[in-house]
Amino acid sequence: MENERILLASPHMSDEGYEQEYVKEAFDTNWVAPLGANVNNFEKELAEYVGIDHAAALTSGTAAIHLALKAAGVGKGDIVICQSLTFSATVNPIIYQGAKPVFVDSDYETWNMDPEQLKIALEKYPETKAVIVVHLYGLSANLDEIVKICKEYQVTLIEDAAESLGTTYKGQYTGTFGEYGIYSFNGNKIITTSGGGMAVSNNPERVEKIRFWSTQSREQARHYQHNEIGYNYRMSNIVAGIGRGQLKVLSDRIKKKQYIHDFYKNELSEISSITFMPENKWNKPNFWLSVILLSDVDTNMLMDELDKANIEARPVWKPMHLQPIFEGYDYVGSNVAETLFNTGICLPSDTKMTDEDLYRVVKTIKRVLHHE
């Protein structure tokens, strides 16, 4: 419909109804608690999809980062180096553990953690316990360099692949390079369980420990026995059923995201004030969101005009080192992350969008930028 709001990214259930089948099975068998066949199989099927040995299904990507940090031995006073250009959910779990974040800038080649700045940060903080790299908007970070540096300094690498499920780096899925990988199934992600996340690793003992912590650290005893602090972080069997159905259409969603990105690029590349996300030969992104950078254009003005046309657009993530809550922590880098924030706009990338919707977005941008 012409006046219907075009959303940035919203849940998209399969046309085949896979999700309803698995959820119905959970109801029919009365397995509606945080355990059951859907949880076990969702872990198995996602691990097989990305090519890793073990996975733990949790209530959110944030919970997965939290327990990955705990599994890595991060505790009070420890240093965790984290990409600055990200959402706060990447950083908050560092604070949960009583640790201290040190923020690192991005590079223009990947929009993700700059390996050179990471090395500078590690030289400054050789006692660093872990590094969290983010694969922003489905773009892979420079993993060869980052993995090499983390091994050199003997620090645990955690990949926040919340936005990059299905993205590959040199043929290998993001989230499988570090000691721990994190995926999110929030409502706006490429596949969703309405809310949920997954921690993955090739270390079976650590994943088993994550599962243990996620169920309130309840010991194997007839009575309720607890020797450690636990968390209520386990994914429910119903939610996992949605995830199993969504996983069946992940490849279709990636194709549509690629189509949306290519559509924008084909239609808007003639406008000199617009540049697009970096594309590298070693990276096959999932294009979770299509993002443009603007030169000599007020991004807020364009977003306001899109909003008037009933089209949702958002700024690029505001870097963590610019957030009031984190202003007391160190930052290593220049102003790449800040420049991306000031000049970037996330365009509607909903996989339910029609060509008519896409033309409406493009037409509005061209009109506002006087190219039509």
Residue 194 has pLDDT above 70, yes or no: yes
Stretch(es) of the chain classified as CATH 3.40.640.10: 18-247
Q: What is the pLDDT of residue 372?
A: 60
Measured in whole angstroms, the distance separating CA 99 from the mean position of its chain's CA atoms is 22
pLDDT digits (tens, 9 = 90+) for 139-167: 999 999 999 999 999 999 999 999 999 99
Q: What is the pLDDT of residue 33?
A: 82
Q: Are strands 130-134 and 156-160 parallel, antiparallel or unpaired?
A: parallel
Average pLDDT over residues 84-93: 98
Topology of domain 250-368 in CATH is Aspartate Aminotransferase, domain 1 (3.90.1150)
Give which of 57, 70, 155 is closest to 104, Cα–Cα: 155
Alpha-carbon distance 194 to 33, whole Å? Answer: 16
Rg (CA), the chain: 21
Mean pLDDT, the chain, rounded, equals 96
Q: What is the pLDDT of residue 1?
A: 54
pLDDT digits (tens, 9 = 90+) for 34-47: 889 999 999 999 99
Residue 168 neighbours by CB under 8 Å, 6+ apart: 140, 174, 283, 284
Topology of domain 18-247 in CATH is Aspartate Aminotransferase; domain 2 (3.40.640)
Tell me if residue 101 falls in helix, strand or coil.
strand
Alpha-carbon distance 77 to 216, whole Å? Answer: 24
Residue 138 has pLDDT above 70, yes or no: yes
Residue 58 has pLDDT above 70, yes or no: yes
Residue 371 has pLDDT above 80, yes or no: no
Q: What is the pLDDT of residue 231?
A: 95
Task: For residue 80, count CB atoms less than 10 angstroms from its CB and return exposed for 0-12, middle for 13-18, buried for 19 or more.
Answer: buried
Residue 269 has pLDDT above 70, yes or no: yes
Residue 119 has pLDDT above 90, yes or no: yes
Residue 289 has pLDDT above 70, yes or no: yes
In this prediction, what percent of the chain has a pLDDT beyond 70?
99
Residue 307 neighbours by CB under 8 Å, 6+ apart: 313
Q: In what order do the strands lie in the sheet with 156-160?
A: 54-58, 197-201, 180-184, 156-160, 130-134, 79-83, 100-104, 331-332
Stretch(es) of the chain classified as CATH 3.90.1150.10: 250-368
Residue type, 368: V
